[in-house]
Structure 1
Amino acid sequence: MLSRNPTVQPEINSIKAEVDEIKRRRILEEAIGQFFDKGYEATSLESIAEGLGVTKQFIYSRFRSKAELLVAICHAGAAAADQTVAFSATLSGDPAQRLAQIIRYFVRLQIEHRREVALYFREAKSLPADEGLAIDSSKQRFHRMLRGLLNEGKASGKFDIADASLAASALGGMASWAFTWFQPEGRWVAESVATELAALALRTVGVPDPLSYLADEPR
């Protein structure tokens, strides 16, 4: 009797998982495009399947419904908040240095995932209630992180602000809304936009020479 190679099955499973992830990503990309162009309500699973050149069963084998597709897309759009909170925990340096890095990092993510972000803001009303609350929790964690940093900067005399919570809302809003006007085929480069918005954030909180904190970045 031939002995089985114990390494073969894990390799097969790994390949299957990779292929399945590629298929899942294709479905999401098609759904993102159609939701973005036509709106969530006007898009059907039939039109998504047609756009992919597959049957609806192909979609159902990975997503149970159109609503589940929207949930996955909105989570991707809102993920920048939690990613930035995690990133902030790795930083050292004074509050101004960290604020510059945080805003720059967050803006990059917003631009990279601008369609998903746009769909979250536009279609959040169609999310199941529990999913909407989960995503709102991510936004609140981001706000608390930013507010804490601004309070730290205020206490140290680095920032000139009256209310850290209000300032956090203003800076977070400025960084978040880059998705509404950034166009990849336009005259702005994502890295330069991220750097410029970081400089604006530092000026907003009263840092007199913001470019000194951004000298290492492309402009």
Structure 2
Amino acid sequence: MSIQDTPPRPGRPPSLRDPQRAICDAAASLFAAKGYDGTSLQDVASAVGMTKAGLYHYFRNKQDLFDSIVLGVLSDMLESARARVDGVEGGAQQVAAFMAAHALYFEGNRDHYRAAFIGRGGDLYVFTPEQMQARRAYTDFLKDILEQGRAQGAFAFEDAPLVARGILGMLNWMTRWYNPQGEKSAEAIAGTYAQIVLKGIATD
């Protein structure tokens, strides 16, 4: 039986088509704006329009809710990157496609992204094993692109994981200063970053 088919219970409004998504969207917006510590489950419940008790039908506690958002972001970013890179030929083009996918995901899911990466103090957050696996898969996807490009003679560097971390560091830092009302879109900024990176690692 799906969530939508389950009969309503006290504290859970039957009008929500996707309650878990609605809760995560509201929580991500609050975590992004106020941080993890500054957001209570009551804040989330009020934003969704349900009682605090209603939240417990879907998440055990605030940590469980936050962890779900983080895992969702990491998993969705990998899916987006794979879809963007699929069918692209050439190492340089694939790196640029990966970076564009990252920026597009960030721009289109800014609250979720900001909640996941800075909502709980950034480096202070301890990833769960499942999140670590998803994070590693995303990094490995970029690393594999770099290593394939090097094997094809397009790139010259010694440490693919180091280059991958550098690229991700550039992209992730955007969340702290990017202005959606600015002159350049996130994708355009990522394109500029890609030009800088690719000039640095090109064999020519």
Q: TM-score range, shorter-chain basis?
A: 0.7 to 0.9
2:42 equivalent to 1:46 = yes
Shift of 1:126: 5.7
More helix by share: 1
State the partner residue of 2:110: 114
Shift of 1:207: 6.7
Distance 1:52 1:149, change over 3 A: closer
**Per-residue Cα deviation, 1:95-142 (whole angstroms, up to 9, x for no partner):** 122222122112211232233222223327566xxx622112122122
- TM-score normalized by the length of structure 1: 0.72
Distance 1:111 1:105, change over 3 A: same
Shift of 1:40: 1.5
The answer on whether the counterparts of 1:105 and 1:194 sit within 8 Å (CA) in structure 2 is no
Task: Provide runs of 4+ in structure 1 moved above 6 Å.
Answer: none
Segment drifting more, 118-127 vs 171-180:
118-127
**Per-residue Cα deviation, 1:124-177 (whole angstroms, up to 9, x for no partner):** 7566xxx62211212212222222222222233211223222111111222232
Distance 1:165 1:23, change over 3 A: closer
**1:135-214 to 2 correspondences below 5 Å:** 135-206=131-202
The answer on whether the counterparts of 2:26 and 2:44 sit within 8 Å (CA) in structure 1 is yes
Report the 3-state secondary structure (helix = DSSP H, G, I; strand = E; otherwise coil) of the residue aligned with 1:157. coil
- TM-score normalized by the length of structure 2: 0.76
The answer on whether the counterparts of 1:103 and 1:201 sit within 8 Å (CA) in structure 2 is no
**1:71-82 to 2 correspondences below 5 Å:** 71-82=67-78
The answer on whether the counterparts of 1:81 and 1:138 sit within 8 Å (CA) in structure 2 is no
- One-letter amino acid of the counterpart of residue 59, structure 1: L
- One-letter amino acid of the counterpart of residue 200, structure 1: I
- One-letter amino acid of the counterpart of residue 104, structure 1: A
Shift of 1:92: 4.1
Q: Distance in 2 between matches of 1:143 and 1:24?
A: 27
- Taking only the aligned residue pairs, the percentage that are identical comes to 24
Q: In structure 2, list runs of 5 or more residues that go unmatched.
A: 9-13
Report the 3-state secondary structure (helix = DSSP H, G, I; strand = E; otherwise coil) of the residue aligned with 1:117. helix
2:76 equivalent to 1:103 = no
Shift of 1:53: 4.0
The answer on whether the counterparts of 2:102 and 2:171 sit within 8 Å (CA) in structure 1 is yes
- One-letter amino acid of the counterpart of residue 45, structure 2: A
Shift of 1:88: 6.6
Return the match for 1:33 from 29, 39, 44: 29
Distance 1:165 1:191, change over 3 A: closer
Q: Distance in 1 between matches of 2:17 and 2:125?
A: 25
- One-letter amino acid of the counterpart of residue 196, structure 2: L
Query: Computing the radius of gyration over CA atoms, which structure comes out larger, 1 or 2?
Result: 1
Kindly tell me the number of residue pairs found equivalent between the two proteins. 193
